[in-house]
Chain A
Amino acid sequence: MLTDRITPSALGTKALLGFASLILLGVVAAMPARADIKIGFQVPLTGPAATDGKSAQIAGEMAIEDINAAGGVLGQKLQLVTYDDQAKSDQAIFTANKLIGEDGVKLVVNGSYSASGRAAAPVFQKAGVVMIAAYGVHPDITRAGDYMFRLVHLGPPQGAATALYIGKMLGLKKISTITMDNDYGQATMDGFLEAAPKYGIEVLNKYSYSLKDRQFGSIVASVKRDNPDGVYATGYFFTGGPLVAQLRAAGITVPIVGSQAFDSEKFIEIAGPAAEGTYIIDSFDRDRKDEALQKFFTGFKERAGYAPEGVAAITYSAVKLMADGIKRANSAEPDKVRDALAATKDFPLLEGSMNGFNGLHEMIMPIHVNEIKDGKFKPAGEVGDLNAFAPPEK
């Protein structure tokens, strides 16, 4: 009789089991499936490169969100571990050591300038950590070793492509050049100067200015005296903007060609009506009828308050590429991801389809040119002759 009451009924047993399994399910679901995959991220949030650093940071975060919203990679979520490297080499080494030692990161995207990439590359290479340099253009970055990848055209090839564009496609022969004297500006201009004779370009005069300059009175007066067919200048949008405005204000009407880092809405804002007709080499094609691109455009503009430029687009793509590499490698192990990345073919970057990487893990892709018309970036051709500006293999 006593035992009668204790004996569970069949329904009760089922209920109990059902309840228990519900709890178990809940517990299992609440537990993280596995640890998130960490992606290290170096960006210059402070210092002279802070403008690009902010763009890169927002773009990187957007990429992670988009990837995770689509289910992550290999069933895991990606997590961005961000550090400010101030675009300085010692900070880059520091933060690299932090990422490797403290955060145990094996895959890194470097969204900073060349000084940072160059210093961090050997550190990551030694630790066997894969690094994709989103927009650092110094040759030393990929030379550090096979774990390094670069997703932007090197300075010298950009310069060489510029020579082709100016000499062949625009048909201009007498050019005055204005170089920004940091490693980016100089490397790009060197590429131009080397390739210029091949397309019949005569360089009338070479001028240079520093990153901090916003006043170019002397250079402008000298260019006016040169009376060239065209002007080619390397620099960033915050130097290019004032420069182009002042060149036009001085009555110089010939075509002006700018380097990749001019590529920003802010350039048009600063230069105002003077921006009209400026060509920008390796500028990203905003008109592409690509859903991902348009979605990125609107999303970025909402978050940042300004339209994205090349830096943002390439950083977004760098993170996406890393995720794709993990997927194709079917593993987050750096060796396997490295091999998968090296084998990349026809990957859709926001800027267009990239053909792949060469032996030195330099990106292979045609160079797009934009012209500013009616205050907007309009496509103005493409330098498709990949051999004319092939990046080095060593």
Chain B
Amino acid sequence: MSAYTVSIVSIIGINVILAVSLNMISGFCGQISLGHGAFFGAGAYAAALVMVKTANVPLALLAALIAGSVLGIIVGFASLRVRSDFLAVTTIGVNFLFVGFVRKQSWLGGEMGISGIPPTGLGASGNMILILALACLTVALSLHVGRSWMGFAFRAVGEDEQAATTLGISTGAYKLAAFGIGTALAGLAGGLYAFFTQFITVDAFDFIFSVMLMAMVVIGGIGSTWGVVAAAIGLTLLPEAIRFVNDYRLLVFGGMLVLVIRLAPGGLASLIRNVFVRVKQA
């Protein structure tokens, strides 16, 4: 496998984890989060700092997970206070605060970022396998949650909070759970990213990246794990496959986001479901 293929598969894996974890928060539980990059970044920085100090891979991944979820639960508390679109604004704010804060802290590398992160010792291919394994676990987790009681509660909260409360579901607790799990996974992805690039700067975790992630979730189909996986793979490969898309990336992604919401708000997943339904009727 060429170095290029290994790096592309690695990035796909990381994006899958990010998109699926965002889907758990925003798709299952209906809490729109446009700042997922911040949790990704928190995990990356935590892992980077641990690796630089100790070069201990499991510890770094654990730190990444914890960093992501701690920040995530704090934001989760915000979701208890404000309504959905203001929650979205709050998450944008969190993203900006994260980036703005890290930029100025010299112990976090400031503008220069953290370079010279020690390698994991697994080599590029080994890293890729680790990423793929964790991506599969994430997808499995998402599918399991989706079918479990927790998933049902998430959906209830997401679709109609008031009705959920009358059903006796403690909406607050479930929102926090959704944020906690989703952001922990994002943090994990951040750790894997730090291993991959061995050099992180805060720009990789900005608002625009968060918008791209949301685009993956929306286009794949909010709430559908497989749809989101497909969208994550597709949207990561698209700029590589089509030069035009690479040069006009934001135009294409922004445009796709607008078109999908406007014409097929259920995303790819709903389109496919419709096809199946129509085929059955035939």
Q: Do chains A and B touch in the complex (CB under 8 A)?
A: yes
Chain A contacts to B: CB under 8 angstroms: 45-46, 84, 88-90, 93-94, 97-98, 100-102, 115, 118-119, 122, 127, 138, 140, 181-183, 186, 210
> Which residues of chain A have C-beta atoms less than 8 A from B2's C-beta?
97, 101-102
A183 vs B193: C-alpha distance when bound (angstroms): 22
A140 vs B110: C-alpha distance when bound (angstroms): 15
Q: B4 at interface (Cβ–Cβ under 8 A)?
A: yes
Q: What 0/1 pattern do residues 228 to 252 of B give for CB contact below 8 A with A?
A: 0000000000000000001111100
Q: Does the CB pair B4–A90 fall under 8 Å?
A: no
Q: What 0/1 pattern do residues 108 to 151 of B give for CB contact below 8 A with A?
A: 00111101000000000000000000000000000000000000
Q: Does the CB pair A101–B249 fall under 8 Å?
A: no
Q: Does the CB pair A97–B112 fall under 8 Å?
A: no
In the complex formed, the residue of A with least CB distance to B248 is A46
Q: Does the CB pair A102–B4 fall under 8 Å?
A: yes
Please, how many residues of chain B have a CB less than 8 angstroms from a CB on the other chain? Answer: 29
A140 vs B2: C-alpha distance when bound (angstroms): 26
Q: B197 at interface (Cβ–Cβ under 8 A)?
A: yes
| CB < 8 Å neighbour of A89 from B104, B110, B204 | B204
> Which residues of chain A have C-beta atoms less than 8 A from B196's C-beta?
90
> Which residues of chain B have C-beta atoms less than 8 A from A182's C-beta?
111
Q: B226 at interface (Cβ–Cβ under 8 A)?
A: no
A127 vs B111: C-alpha distance when bound (angstroms): 28
| Shortest CB distance A337–B (Å) | 21
| Shortest CB distance A138–B (Å) | 7
A46-B247, A89-B113 are contacts. A119–B4 as well, Cβ < 8 Å?
Answer: no
A208 vs B187: C-alpha distance when bound (angstroms): 31
Q: Does the CB pair A89–B103 fall under 8 Å?
A: no
Q: Does the CB pair A98–B4 fall under 8 Å?
A: yes
> Which residues of chain A have C-beta atoms less than 8 A from B204's C-beta?
88-90
A-B contact pairs, 27 of them (CB 8 A): A46-B248, A88-B201, A88-B204, A89-B113, A89-B201, A89-B203, A89-B204, A90-B197, A93-B7, A93-B197, A97-B4, A97-B6, A98-B4, A100-B4, A101-B3, A101-B4, A101-B5, A102-B2, A115-B113, A118-B115, A118-B199, A122-B198, A138-B112, A140-B115, A181-B103, A181-B104, A186-B110
> Which residues of chain A have C-beta atoms less than 8 A from B11's C-beta?
90, 94
Q: B25 at interface (Cβ–Cβ under 8 A)?
A: no
Give the residues from 3 to 38 in chain B that come closer than 8 angstroms, CB to CB, to chain A.
3-8, 11
A198 vs B5: C-alpha distance when bound (angstroms): 52
In the complex formed, the residue of A with least CB distance to B250 is A46
Q: Does the CB pair A119–B103 fall under 8 Å?
A: no
| Shortest CB distance B127–A (Å) | 12
Q: Does the CB pair B7–A94 fall under 8 Å?
A: yes
Known: A102-B2, A102-B4. 8 other contacts (CB 8 A): A46-B250, A90-B193, A94-B11, A97-B4, A97-B6, A119-B199, A181-B111, A183-B112
Q: B200 at interface (Cβ–Cβ under 8 A)?
A: yes
Q: Does the CB pair A89–B3 fall under 8 Å?
A: no
A98 vs B8: C-alpha distance when bound (angstroms): 9
> Which residues of chain B have C-beta atoms less than 8 A from A138's C-beta?
112
Q: Does the CB pair A97–B3 fall under 8 Å?
A: yes
Chain B contacts to A: CB under 8 angstroms: 2-8, 11, 103-104, 110-113, 115, 193, 196-201, 203-204, 246-250
> Which residues of chain B have C-beta atoms less than 8 A from A93's C-beta?
7, 197
| CB < 8 Å neighbour of B247 from A45, A88, A98, A181 | A45
In the complex formed, the residue of B with least CB distance to A91 is B204
A119 vs B103: C-alpha distance when bound (angstroms): 18
In the complex formed, the residue of B with least CB distance to A103 is B4
> Which residues of chain B have C-beta atoms less than 8 A from A101's C-beta?
2-5
A100 vs B11: C-alpha distance when bound (angstroms): 18
A43 vs B122: C-alpha distance when bound (angstroms): 31
> Which residues of chain B have C-beta atoms less than 8 A from A89's C-beta?
113, 197, 199-201, 203-204
A46, A122, A140, A210 interface centre (most CB from chain B within 10 Å): A46
| CB < 8 Å neighbour of B246 from A84, A118, A186 | A84
A182 vs B103: C-alpha distance when bound (angstroms): 9
A102 vs B203: C-alpha distance when bound (angstroms): 27
A102 vs B3: C-alpha distance when bound (angstroms): 9
| Shortest CB distance A277–B (Å) | 30
A290 vs B6: C-alpha distance when bound (angstroms): 47
In the complex formed, the residue of B with least CB distance to A138 is B112
Q: Does the CB pair A97–B201 fall under 8 Å?
A: no
| CB < 8 Å neighbour of A88 from B6, B7, B112, B203 | B203
> Which residues of chain A have C-beta atoms less than 8 A from B3's C-beta?
97, 100-101, 127
Q: Does the CB pair B201–A115 fall under 8 Å?
A: yes
Q: Sorted from nearest, which 7 A-B pairs have the closest CB atoms?
A: A101-B4, A101-B2, A97-B4, A97-B3, A97-B7, A101-B3, A182-B111
> Which residues of chain A have C-beta atoms less than 8 A from B199's C-beta?
89, 118-119
Q: Does the CB pair B249–A46 fall under 8 Å?
A: yes
In the complex formed, the residue of B with least CB distance to A86 is B249
In the complex formed, the residue of A with least CB distance to B112 is A183
A84 vs B5: C-alpha distance when bound (angstroms): 18
A21 vs B97: C-alpha distance when bound (angstroms): 75
A101 vs B7: C-alpha distance when bound (angstroms): 11
A359 vs B200: C-alpha distance when bound (angstroms): 28
A84 vs B112: C-alpha distance when bound (angstroms): 21
A246 vs B67: C-alpha distance when bound (angstroms): 42
| Shortest CB distance B11–A (Å) | 7
A140 vs B111: C-alpha distance when bound (angstroms): 14
In the complex formed, the residue of A with least CB distance to B249 is A46
> Which residues of chain B have C-beta atoms less than 8 A from A98's C-beta?
4
> Which residues of chain A have C-beta atoms less than 8 A from B113's C-beta?
89, 115
> Which residues of chain B have C-beta atoms less than 8 A from A118's C-beta?
115, 199
> Which residues of chain A have C-beta atoms less than 8 A from B203's C-beta?
88-89, 115
In the complex formed, the residue of A with least CB distance to B246 is A84
> Which residues of chain B have C-beta atoms less than 8 A from A140's C-beta?
115
A186 vs B2: C-alpha distance when bound (angstroms): 37
